[in-house]
Structure 1
Amino acid sequence: MLIQLAEDLPAYFYEVFVTRFDFWLVFGILAQLVFGSRFILQWIASEREGRSVMPLSFWFLSIVGGLMTLVYGFVRKEPVIIIGQGLSTGIYVRNLSLIFRERRRRSQRDFDAASTDPR
C-alpha cells in the first residue's frame, strides 16, 4: 500500500501541477502567498515588539488574500474554499471596523482630555 502510494505520487503531482497548469492555478498560488505572508508579517512585528502583536497590515493582507482565494474558489467551483473564505473575509472586515472604531474613540477621548486640560 505504502509502496504503491509512493509510486503514484509523481503521477499525482504531475496531474495537479502540470496538466492543470493555467492562469487560475497561478492566481490561486499567488493568493495563498499573499494570504500566508500575513503570518510572516505578524511574526516579524511580534519579534520587534518582544510580545505578540497583530499589526493593522495583518488584517489588510487577510482581506486581500482571502478575497483572492475566494475568487479562485468561485472560478474553480470549490465549495470548501468558497464557504471558508467567504466567512473568514467577513470576520477580517469586522475586525478592521472594530479597530477603527476603537481608534476613533481613543482619538475623541484624547481630544476631550486636551480641550478640558486647564494648562
Structure 2
Amino acid sequence: MIFQLSSDLRDYLYDVFVAKFDLWVLFGLVAQIVFAMRFVVQWIASERAGRSVMPVAFWFISLLGGGLTLVYGLVRREPIIIIGQVLAVFIYVRNLMLIYRPRRG
C-alpha cells in the first residue's frame, strides 16, 4: 500500500512538474515569484518603519505580478486565475490612482 502510494505520488509529481513543463509554465512560475515578492517588499518596509506599512512598491509589484499571472491564465485558459486576477489588477490600478491623485484642498 505505501509502495503504491509512493509510486502514485511520484507519477503525479512527474506529470505535474516534468511532463507538462513548457515555456508557459516557466512564465507562470516567474509571474508567481514576482507576485510573491510584493510581500517581501511589504515586510521589509514594515520592519524598517517598526509598524505595518504598505509601500507604493507593493502596488506596482502587485500590478506586475498580477498582470503576468493574468496573461498566464488567459493563455492557459484557466478560468479561476482569469477571474481572480481581473478583479485584482483592477484593485491594484485603483490603489495607484488613489495614491497619485492630486490632493484637493
Q: Please give the TM-score of this superposition, normalised by the length of structure 1.
A: 0.82
Aligned partner of 2:31 in structure 1 is 31
Structure 2 residue 14 is matched with structure 1 residue 14: yes
Partners of 2:95 and 2:36 in 1: CA distance? 18
Q: Residue type of the partner of 1:70?
A: L
**What percent identity do the matched residue pairs reach?**
63
Q: Residue type of the partner of 2:80?
A: V
Point out where structure 2 has 5 or more consecutive residues left out of the alignment. none
Partners of 2:59 and 2:5 in 1: CA distance? 39
Q: Residue type of the partner of 1:97?
A: M
Partners of 2:41 and 2:77 in 1: CA distance? 30
Q: Residue type of the partner of 2:68?
A: M
CA deviations on 1:65-102 (whole Å, 9 max, x unpaired) are 0010000001111000000001100011001111112x
What is the alpha-carbon root mean square deviation over aligned residues? 1.4
Structure 1 residue 7 displacement after superposition: 3.4
Name the larger-Rg structure: 1
Structure-to-structure mapping, 1:27-106, within 5 angstroms: 27-101=27-101, 104-105=102-103
| Equivalent residue pairs, number | 104
Partners of 2:58 and 2:90 in 1: CA distance? 15
Give the structure, 1 or 2, with the largest relative contact order (CA under 8 Å, sep 6 or more).
2
Q: Residue type of the partner of 2:90?
A: G
Q: Please give the TM-score of this superposition, normalised by the length of structure 2.
A: 0.92
Partners of 1:5 and 1:31 in 2: CA distance? 32
Structure 1 residue 44 displacement after superposition: 0.4
Point out where structure 1 has 5 or more consecutive residues left out of the alignment. 110-119
